[in-house]
Amino acid sequence: MSTQSLSKWSIDAMHSEVEFKVKHLMISTVTGKFSSYSGELNQAMKTLLRLKSASQRM
């Protein structure tokens, strides 16, 4: 069984915003934002390197 190093990131709420925009019936656009949120991402480094490589090709 191999071990992979895990990377962990947490959302920095002081330096982040979560906003959205949705078109409704192609007539109007509804916008909004979340005032309270939190999140964390735990990912294997091998997967992150693969994602970085894929995004650089685009």
Q: What is the pLDDT of residues 1-57, one digit of tens each?
A: 455 677 788 888 889 999 999 998 889 999 999 988 888 877 766 665 665 555 555
Contact 47, 8 (CB under 8 A): no
Q: How many other C-beta atoms are found inside a 10 Å radius of the C-beta of residue 47?
A: 12
0.75 surpassed by pTM? no
Contact 12, 50 (CB under 8 A): no
pLDDT recorded at residue 37: 86
pLDDT recorded at residue 20: 93
pLDDT recorded at residue 41: 77
pLDDT recorded at residue 28: 96
